[in-house]
Structure 1
Amino acid sequence: MSAFRWRVSLFLLFSIAVVSCLLAQQKPPALTLAKLGFINERVEEQITISVDYCWHNGYHHWMMGMLFFLIEIDPKNTERYSTLGWILSSNGRHSEAVKVYERNMKENPGLSDAFYDAAYHFYQRKDYAQAVKYAEMAASKPGAEGVVFRLLAHSYERTNQFAKALAAWERLLKIAPNDGAAQGNMKRIREKMQRSQKP
């Protein structure tokens, strides 16, 4: 047998062996999946601990890289997007922060927090029209918390939409009737509305 035929035969046998292994393992055994899940959880846990260490020691650039990685592991964890977006924005990387918030909204379209983070980012940047847009989306989600309605009310007020600001404060009072800030803010907005109506 020539060297060429020997190599071709060896290659074919190897290929058949690989394909056979792949076909046999189309559905890995439950024990293998459990072990892989355990390893994945431990890796995620250790990276999360490292993120916390970096946060407390000021290694924000390392932390950003780890958060990008953790988001790939679990794209449904909204806290990671929130932290990463905030760190990016705090380091002057605003367009990257917006992309992180957009991905959060895409991955978690039913969660108020995903939209709140974007609204808060724009409010902090004094882009109140964008803050209104995302705060309205956050407020429309089930389980929206009081902080969402506070931000929505302040965003409406900053864009001179006083009637909507009052309505947002009223919605807040429905879920948090003892909110101390709501009444004072509503009083101030009513005064602004009266002043704006005077000739």
Structure 2
Amino acid sequence: MKWLWMTGLVCALFASVQAQPQPLPAEVQKRIDAIFDGVVDRWIVQMDRWWHDGQHEHLINMTYFAIMLDPHNISLYENAGWLLWSSDRDDEAVALYQRGLRNNPDVYDMYYELGQYYYIRKRDYAKAREYLEQAIKFPCEWFVWNTLGHVYARLGEREKAVETWQELLRRFPMMPVDQMEAVRKNIRDTMTRDTTPTAGENTQQ
């Protein structure tokens, strides 16, 4: 009950500030921002406890409130989205990911989350490619390129898969050694493969 009361109070304050016709004085705005930051930090700590305690519904519900105050916190969308689709609430998961994408269109993260969702969950490789190709237009981690390579391989586009993995090795020479060797093996296997991977094969290496 305390969390519901605090959530309502903070959201009301947030709405009131947003509705102000004129910008607030800098000192007042600074104090309000500090309050919001403190509340979000406390929420994230509590949400982490719910995650480890298995109270996932509480976590999902609080995520929507936290996003109102911190729409650029990528982990909020990532964690709640995974919980939603792993609970067969796919429509809610996609809607949350899309909301994250609208709020964060200039970083790779939400493009990657959607690409991963369509690759792993739906096995819709064409849709996964659409988002992953957008993700690599921004500075990103090595595993984004790796996943895109696997998607190309699933689609039978072996040349693109090999080129993507080769580009990965060029861009990330300091990636973990075991992963680097796995990528090199993927290149060798793809170049000598007669058919596209079957659905049961492990493509996460």
TM-score band by shorter chain is 0.7 to 0.9
Q: Distance between the aligned counterparts of 1:107 and 1:31, measured in 2?
A: 27
Are 1:79 and 2:80 an aligned pair? no
Are 1:184 and 2:181 an aligned pair? no
The answer for unaligned runs of 5 or more in structure 1 is 1-24
Percent identity of paired positions between Structure 1 and Structure 2: 32
* Among 107, 111, 114, the residue aligned to 2:103: 107
What is the letter of the counterpart of residue 128 of structure 2? A
Q: Distance between the aligned counterparts of 1:39 and 1:77, measured in 2?
A: 17
What is the letter of the counterpart of residue 165 of structure 1? A
* Among 120, 134, 149, the residue aligned to 1:137: 134
Are 1:147 and 2:143 an aligned pair? yes
The answer for unaligned runs of 5 or more in structure 2 is 1-20, 196-205
Structure 2 counterpart SS, 1:185: helix
State the Cα distance separating 1:27 from its structure 2 match. Answer: 4.9
Q: 1:30 to 1:95 in 2, by over 3 A?
A: same
State the Cα distance separating 1:37 from its structure 2 match. Answer: 2.0
What is the letter of the counterpart of residue 116 of structure 2? Y
| Count of paired positions | 169
Q: Distance between the aligned counterparts of 1:44 and 1:115, measured in 2?
A: 24
Q: Distance between the aligned counterparts of 2:106 and 2:31, measured in 1?
A: 32
Q: Distance between the aligned counterparts of 1:27 and 1:153, measured in 2?
A: 48
Which protein shows a greater Rg? 1
Root mean square deviation, CA, Å? 1.6
Are 1:50 and 2:35 an aligned pair? no
Q: Distance between the aligned counterparts of 1:95 and 1:144, measured in 2?
A: 26
Q: 1:44 to 1:186 in 2, by over 3 A?
A: same
Q: Distance between the aligned counterparts of 1:83 and 1:38, measured in 2?
A: 25
Are 1:59 and 2:60 an aligned pair? no
Structure whose residues are more often helix by fraction: 1
Structure 2 counterpart SS, 1:163: helix
Which structure is richer in relative contact order (CA contacts within 8 A, separation 6 or more)?
2
